[in-house]
């Protein structure tokens, strides 16, 4: 084999260099020639260098900078050599190295020439670069060999060896550069020919965290196995969105949980509190019941001795006392009565509070009640002081004569309001007006006296329209149903008293709250009245309000709903209709009266009262006008009624007036009446000495007027004294001729009660057993009332009453259905005898039981005139 010419070496180098792009993965190509030992000497001479050994180099790798091929040892004597003769420039340092002297290389070379295929070395440190690499070796044969040539044939035909060096690191880097994701992917290339000791060919020995992809590499050598392991360089990033979301959800869940927990806790607490409250409520109710019982008991215990005290005082007053003593007694009696009234009020309050107060539904005459109240207060208004407080009542004509409701409670409200007015009014007037609510709503012409001096007494008053400003009734006018029988009344009590201080006005209806603690010292009272009144008004489906101007006066107004009694009056026994007004009015019916009064409001009140007697009224404001009216004589005037004010101012010293009267030449001259503001002045007979002038003391009451008229005009004189003075007298009026049944098992009681009622003129029948009472009270009968003992053997008063009511109900029904003729029952179609319980027991429960079983009321035993009057007056008006 000849030494290759220099040119050839150069050409190889250049060629390989130029074609390097075709073998992108090789770092260099070299060609080694087969040299037998016999040919070595000649070959070395030809080449000009000795064949160098490379195993020492392998054992002592040198730094590439120190690499110097001349320092390498010559190859020891071998059978044959494989020195590199051609090399690409990059690997030119391998020229002259004997491939067979290297451990890996010799294996490769021998293997390659035997198999005739390319053979890869195990990775090793490349010379000079010291980088890991593999060498792919192909054998070059001198002639074409058949595919099935034997290894021996192949060895003999071998001419040389072509080797390509693969720098694995750069190889992989190049590959990865192509993948362009070197930053994110870590690649390890391993030679895994020996499974248990894989040789790392590329990549750092980072810890294996399992997340890697393993792929087998085939570099064309079937004897070696390579693997590529890929994994992400960075750990997978935290899933922040997921984390934040879940944290958020967790927080929300916690919050919701907390809220839920708190709610549950709260619920439990509230429930617990509720239980406690219920418990407390029960206790409070029990305490309330106990309190009511206590009050009832105590009131009984107080009332009984108080009756004794009052009775004794009454007796004492009848004895011979000097003025001072009489005063003491009167004071003591007044105090006693106040105490009893207080007890009754407290009982009322307790009853209202426990909701046990029920209103009655009976027919009554509103006008009679107001007359009654007026007479009750007339005495008080006289006592007040120097100046006289005028009391007056005005009831609109629109208000029906008979109403159905609870007269007792209505009276209580009026008494309370008037009582307050009386207490705080020193001068001027107290005026009660009653209208239908519709009237007040409809008419704008409602008296505008508030601004002017045009009031009853001439003193300014608080505008009553202000007092009902807040009423719901007025805001929803549509609520008044014109087709129903219900009658809505509006009642005002107007006074010219000292008024309520502004700061106290808000607590007027609060129980036990007086304007000022000193009030109770100067005026007495408990401050409970108005709150009771408010409750009662509410029970009557009404409202109460007031307006008050300090130093001017107060006006309290309330509404109340009643049923019209007129439509159903026939159903009630005639005895309940006010006999007095009926009989009296007929006596004077059609007469004419002339009222002289310059004050419209006062004249209106007078007119109302006189008209109740069926008398036509003409009002003149000027006395001269009145005289001309009398003179004209076109309508015969039966009476002239002169207001005291007019008399005092104009007529007192004038004879003109009486002259005029005397000169009248037709019929009988009119009678003259003077309306006096106080009873006292009536005693001081009018100084004119005119015989035919009568003084009518105010306040106006139809009965009073009627009595005066009867006396003066000699009409239907029944010898009835003017009533309302003493209970015993009026009791006599009420009871005279009444047929009354008394039922009591106790003979002594029976006799005493009968004696008492007989004294007042009643026609008394006695019975000792309940069963007798039932027999006697089986309709038709003539009894007007029945006084029934409660505690009786065999059948008590409750049971007897119940049976009587059942019986009456039964008979009424049968009359109603025509099964029984009304004629057979005295023409009474609605039997209801008034039954009053007689009891020594004033406990509320007893009273309630009385009402429940159908009784109309009760009187305490033994009889007491005033109480008897109170109860009886409710039935015999």
Partner 1 sequence: MDLVQLQRQLVDYRTSLYHEGFLDEQFTQLQSLQDENNPDFVVEVVSLFFEDSERLLNELSKALEQQVIDFKRMDAQVHQLKGSSSSIGAHRVQKLCIVFRNYCEAQNVEGCLKCLQQVKHEYGIIKTKLESMFQLEQQILNAGGSIPV
Closer CB to partner 1, 547 or 842, in the complex: 842
Q: Mark residues 740-759: x for contact with partner 1 by CB under 8 A, - for none.
A: ----xxxxxx-xxx-xx-xx
Give Cα separations from 513 to 335, 383, 412, 526, 619 (angstroms).
21, 26, 19, 8, 45
Cβ 291 to partner 1 shortest distance, Å? 24
CB neighbour class for 651 (10 Å; exposed up to 12, middle 13-18, buried from 19): buried
Is residue 601 within 8 A of residue 607, CB to CB? The reply is: no
Closer residue to partner 1, CB minimum distance, 153 or 864: 864
- Cβ neighbours of residue 163 under 8 Å, at least 6 residues apart? 29, 30, 31, 32, 99, 105, 108, 135, 136, 137, 138
Taking residues 24 to 63 in sequence order and writing x for each that binds partner 1 by CB under 8 A, - otherwise, the string is ----------------------------------------
3-state secondary structure 216-284: EECCCCCCCCEEEEEEECCCCCCCHHHHHHHHHHHHHHHHHHHHHHHHHHHHHHHHHHHHHHHHHHHHH
**At its nearest, how many Å lie between partner 1 and the CB of residue 375?**
24
Binding marks (x or -) toward partner 1, 539..578, rule CB under 8 A? ----------------------------------------
User: Please, what is the minimum distance in Å from the beta carbon of residue 757 to partner 1?
Assistant: 9
b/e sequence 842-859, b meaning 16+ C-beta within 10 Å: bbbebbebbeebbbbbbb
Give the integer Cα–Cα distance in Å for 472 and 543. 8
CA distance 261 to 258: 5
Q: Which residues pair with 486 in a beta bridge?
A: 563
Contact 189, 203 (CB under 8 A): yes
Beta bridge partners of 163: 30, 137
Instruction: Report the distance separating Cα 466 and Cα 32, nearest Å.
Output: 134
- Cα distance between the two ends of the chain: 169
Residues 425-444 that bind partner 1 (CB under 8 A): none
Positions in 831-870 near partner 1 (CB under 8 A)? 840, 861-863
- The CB-of-865 to partner 1 minimum distance in angstroms stands at 9
What residues contact residue 250 under an 8 Å CB cut-off, 6+ apart?
none
Q: Which stretch binds partner 1 (CB under 8 A): 460-468, 699-707, 718-726, 738-746?
A: 738-746
Q: Tell which positions 788-827 bind partner 1, by CB under 8 A.
A: 791, 793
736 binds partner 1 (CB under 8 A): no
| Nearest to partner 1 of 183, 319 (CB atom) | 319
- Closest CB to partner 1 among 403 and 790? 790
CB closer to partner 1 out of 750 and 833: 750
Q: To the nearest 10°, the Cα dihedral for 311, 312, 314, 319?
A: 150
d(CA 97, CA 3): 16
Measure the CA angle with vertex 127, ends 124 and 131; round to 5°. 55
CB of 707 to partner 1, least distance (A): 25
Q: What's the closest the beta carbon of residue 339 comes to partner 1, in angstroms?
A: 17
Nearer to partner 1, 557 or 749 (CB): 749
Going residue by residue from 385 to 424, which x/- string records binding to partner 1, judged by CB under 8 A? ----------------------------------------
678 vs 317, 458, 699, 732, CA distance in Å?
Answer: 24, 17, 8, 26
Q: Are 868 and 787 in contact (CB under 8 A)?
A: no
What one-character-per-residue DSSP string does 96-114 give? TBBGGGSHHHHHHHHHHHH
CB of 120 or CB of 836, closer to partner 1: 836
- Minimum distance from residue 675 beta carbon to partner 1 (Å): 37
CB of 330 to partner 1, least distance (A): 18
Q: How far is the CB of 859 from partner 1 (least distance, A)?
A: 13
Rank residues 149 and 752 by Cβ distance to partner 1 and give the closer one. 752
* Min CB(777)–partner 1 separation in Å: 22
Q: Are 213 and 229 in contact (CB under 8 A)?
A: yes
Residue with smaller CB distance to partner 1, 25 or 312: 312
Q: What angle do CA 28, 26, 214 make, to 5 degrees?
A: 145
Strand partners of residue 741? 765, 786
In whole angstroms, give the CA distance from residue 410 to residue 372: 12
Least Å from the CB of residue 749 to partner 1: 5
Residue 119 or 756: which CB sits closer to partner 1?
A: 756
Query: Which one, 495 or 745, has the nearer CB to partner 1?
Result: 745
Query: Cα 107 to the chain's mean position, in Å?
Result: 105
Residues of this chain, 138-167, that bind partner 1 according to CB under 8 A: none
Residue 310 Cβ, how far from partner 1 at the closest point, in Å? 9
C-beta of 560 vs 756, nearer to partner 1: 756
Looking at beta carbons only, is 463 or 745 nearer to partner 1?
A: 745
* Contact (Cβ atoms closer than 8 angstroms) between residue 498 and residue 551: yes
Q: Other CB atoms closer than 10 Å to residue 769's CB: what's the count?
A: 16
Phi, psi dihedrals of residue 14, rounded to the nearest 5°: -65, -40
Q: To the nearest 5 percent, what fractions of the chain are helix, strand and coil? A: 45, 20, 35
Shortest Å distance, C-beta 516 to partner 1: 38
- Rounded CA separation 422/529 (Å): 14
Q: How many CB atoms lie within 10 A of CB 518?
A: 9
> For partner 1, which stretch binds (CB under 8 A), given 304-312, 362-370, 606-614, 615-623?
304-312
Residues 79-98 that bind partner 1 (CB under 8 A): none
Q: Which is nearer to partner 1, 86 or 858 (CB)?
A: 858
Nearer to partner 1, 673 or 798 (CB): 798
Shortest Å distance, C-beta 747 to partner 1: 5
β-strand partners of 429: 390
Nearest approach, Cβ of residue 748 and partner 1 (Å)? 3
In this complex, which beta carbon is closest to partner 1, that of residue 104 or of residue 744? Answer: 744
> Min. distance of Cβ 759 from partner 1 in angstroms?
5
Residues 617-636 that bind partner 1 (CB under 8 A): none
Residues 305-334 that bind partner 1 (CB under 8 A): 307-308, 311-312, 315, 318
Residues binding partner 1: number (CB under 8 A): 25
Q: Which residues bind partner 1 (CB under 8 A)?
A: 307-308, 311-312, 315, 318, 744-749, 751-753, 755-756, 758-759, 791, 793, 840, 861-863
């Amino acid at each position: 084999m000849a030494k290759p010419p220099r040119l050839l070496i150069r050409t190889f180098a250049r060629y390989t260099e130029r074609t390097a792009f075709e073998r992108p993965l090789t770092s260099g190509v070299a060609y080694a020639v087969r040299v037998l030992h016999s040919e070595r000497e000649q070959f070395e001479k030809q080449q000009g260098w000795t064949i160098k050994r490379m195993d020492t180099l392998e054992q002592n790798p040198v730094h590439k900078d120190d690499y110097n091929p001349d320092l390498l040892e010559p190859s020891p004597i071998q059978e044959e050599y494989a020195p590199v003769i051609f090399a690409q420039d990059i690997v030119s340092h391998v020229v002259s190295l004997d491939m067979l002297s290297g451990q890996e290389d010799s294996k490769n070379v021998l293997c390659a020439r035997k198999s005739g295929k390319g053979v890869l070395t195990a990775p090793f440190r490349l010379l000079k670069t010291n980088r890991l690499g593999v060498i792919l070796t192909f054998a070059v044969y001198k002639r074409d060999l058949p595919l099935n040539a034997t290894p021996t044939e192949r060895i003999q035909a071998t001419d040389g060896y072509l080797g390509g060096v693969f720098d694995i690191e750069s190889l992989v880097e190049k590959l990865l550069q192509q993948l362009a994701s070197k930053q994110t992917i870590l690649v390890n290339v391993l030679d895994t020919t020996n499974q248990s000791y894989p040789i790392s060919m590329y990549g750092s020995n980072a810890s294996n965290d399992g997340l890697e992809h393993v792929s087998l590499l085939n570099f064309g050598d079937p004897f070696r196995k390579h693997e590529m392991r890929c994994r992400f360089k960075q750990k997978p990033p935290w899933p922040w969105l997921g984390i934040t979301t879940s944290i958020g959800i967790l927080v929300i869940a916690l919050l919701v949980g907390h809220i839920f927990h708190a709610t549950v806790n709260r619920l439990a607490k509230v429930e617990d509190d509720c239980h406690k409250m219920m418990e407390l409520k029960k206790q409070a109710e029990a305490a309330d019941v106990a309190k009511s019982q206590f009050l009832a008991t105590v009131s009984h215990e107080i009332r009984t001795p108080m009756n004794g005290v009052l009775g004794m005082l009454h007796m004492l007053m009848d004895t011979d006392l000097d003025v001072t003593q009489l005063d003491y007694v009167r004071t003591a009696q007044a105090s006693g009565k106040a105490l009893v009234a207080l007890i009754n009020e407290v009982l009322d309050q307790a009853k209202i509070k426990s909701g046990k107060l029920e209103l009655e539904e009976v027919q009554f005459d509103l006008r009679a009640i107001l007359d009654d109240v007026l007479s009750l207060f007339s005495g008080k208004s006289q006592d007040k002081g120097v100046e006289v407080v005028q009391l007056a009542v005005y009831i609109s004509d629109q208000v029906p004569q008979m109403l159905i409701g609870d007269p007792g409670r209505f009276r209580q409200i009026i008494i309370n309001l008037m009582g307050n007015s009386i207490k705080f009014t020193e001068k001027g007037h107290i005026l009660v007006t009653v209208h239908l609510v519709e009237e007040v709503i409809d008419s704008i012409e409602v008296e505008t006296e508030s601004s002017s001096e045009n009031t009853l007494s001439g003193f300014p008053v608080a505008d009553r329209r202000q007092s009902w400003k807040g009423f719901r009734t007025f805001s929803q006018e549509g609520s008044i149903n014109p087709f129903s029988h219900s009658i809505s009344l509006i009642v005002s009590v107007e006074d010219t008293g000292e008024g309520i201080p502004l700061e106290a006005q808000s607590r007027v209806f609060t129980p036990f709250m007086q304007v000022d603690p000193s009030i109770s010292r100067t005026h007495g009272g408990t401050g409970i009245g108005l709150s009771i009144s408010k409750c009662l008004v509410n029970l009557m489906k009404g409202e109460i309000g007031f307006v008050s101007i300090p130093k001017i006066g107060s006006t309290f107004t309330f509404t109340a709903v009643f049923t019209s009694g007129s439509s159903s009056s026939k159903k009630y026994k005639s005895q309940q209709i006010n006999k007095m007004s009926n009989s009296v009015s007929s006596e004077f019916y059609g007469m004419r009266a002339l009222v002289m009064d310059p004050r419209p409001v006062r004249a209106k009140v007078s007119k109302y009262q006189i008209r109740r007697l069926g008398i036509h009224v003409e009002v003149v404001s000027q006395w001269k006008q009145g005289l001309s009216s009398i003179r004209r004589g076109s309508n015969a005037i039966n009476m002239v009624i002169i207001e005291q004010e007019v008399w005092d101012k104009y007529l007192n010293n004038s004879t003109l007036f009486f002259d005029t009267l005397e000169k009248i030449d037709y019929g009988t001259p009119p009678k003259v009446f003077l309306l006096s503001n106080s009873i006292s002045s009536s005693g001081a007979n009018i100084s004119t000495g005119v015989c035919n002038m009568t003084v009518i003391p105010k306040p106006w009451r139809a009965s009073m007027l009627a009595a005066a008229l009867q006396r003066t005009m000699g009409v239907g004189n029944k010898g009835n004294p003017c009533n309302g003075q003493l209970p015993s007298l009026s009791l006599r009026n009420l009871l005279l001729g009444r047929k009354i049944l008394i039922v009591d098992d106790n003979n002594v009681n029976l006799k005493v009660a009968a004696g008492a009622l007989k004294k007042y003129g009643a026609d008394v029948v006695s019975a000792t057993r309940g069963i007798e009472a039932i027999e006697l009270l089986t309709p038709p009968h003539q009894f007007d009332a029945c006084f029934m003992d409660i505690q009786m053997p065999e059948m008590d008063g409750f049971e007897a009453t119940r049976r009587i009511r059942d019986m009456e109900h039964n008979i009424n029904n049968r009359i109603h259905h025509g099964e029984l003729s009304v004629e057979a029952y005295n023409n009474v179609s609605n039997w209801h005898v008034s039954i009053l319980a007689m009891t020594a027991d004033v406990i509320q429960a007893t009273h309630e039981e009385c009402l429940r079983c159908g009784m109309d009321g009760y009187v305490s035993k033994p009889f007491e005139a005033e109480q008897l009057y109170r109860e009886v007056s409710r039935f015999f008006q």
